[in-house]
Amino acid sequence: MSAVLIVEDDDRIRLSLLMALEEEGYTVTGAATAEEGLIAQSRHPAEVVLMDLMLPGLDGYECIRRLRRDDDVPIVVISAKDDKDDIVEALEAGADDYLVKPVSIKELTARLRALRRRLGPAGPADMHVWNFGELEVVPEAGEVRLGGESVALTRTEFQLLCELCQHAGRVLSRQQILQRVWQYDGGDERLVDVHVGRLRQKIEKDPSAPRHLVTVRGLGYKLQR
């Protein structure tokens, strides 16, 4: 994962991130507005997008939603907004991760390395087909079907689903999921809760009464047949 798009209207922040990431070996493109970012991603797709939220014109939330219409690129929000509602809204819009400004390059590159590890090629242990009634997961093909119909997931949602499939019938705590899916030793558990909620909307016929992806109160989540 070497191509990065930075969508940030503050010239100083955008340029400092661009130069720092280039020194780390990344190929970086900068955009000062959401509109510029959408055009850049359509013409020369990056492997990860770093997204500010407070942008002139189209804001970061809407930019994320538009990217998610036809792109599963990992999106990491970097914003001064640290309110719980802002973080949840960004994640529900389709962001994969959220960092609060100011962000150190050391922390940012650690997150990018974690993305590279978890989104890299699947190993032999992942070559399985899982069936949960009408839900079918085919890891080697990157496919999910519900009732025979294809389900479109982001790469993070797919990784989360595969991790739950590998431990079907077992409860995974939020911290275990953060470590296994996001490669974080500790972190904000809202990342897990929001992504589980988004995943339920796509793989459950009735997300308000999930049959497969269930919450075990006080413990975490499990996938069951």
* Separate counts of helices (H) and strands (E) for the chain: 8, 11
Domain ranges, ordered by start, for the chain: 3-118, 124-223
- pLDDT, position 124: 44
Q: Are 186 and 104 in contact (CB under 8 A)?
A: no
Band of pLDDT at residue 125, cut at 50, 70 and 90: very low
Q: Which phi and psi (to 5°) does residue 77 adopt? A: -80, 135
List, for residues 86-119, the tens digit of each pLDDT value: 999 999 999 999 999 999 999 999 888 888 777 6
For domain 3-118, say whether CATH 3.30.565.10 is its number. Answer: no
Instruction: Give the whole-angstrom CA distance, residue 206 versus residue 223.
Output: 15
Task: Give pTM, 2 decimals.
Answer: 0.83
- Residue closest to 44 by CA, chosen among 55, 54, 31, 32: 31
Model confidence at 201: pLDDT above 90: yes
Q: Which CATH class is domain 124-223?
A: mainly alpha
Query: Tens digit of pLDDT for each residue in 24-49?
Result: 999 999 999 999 999 999 999 999 99
Report which secondary-structure segment, H or E, holds 213.
strand 213-216
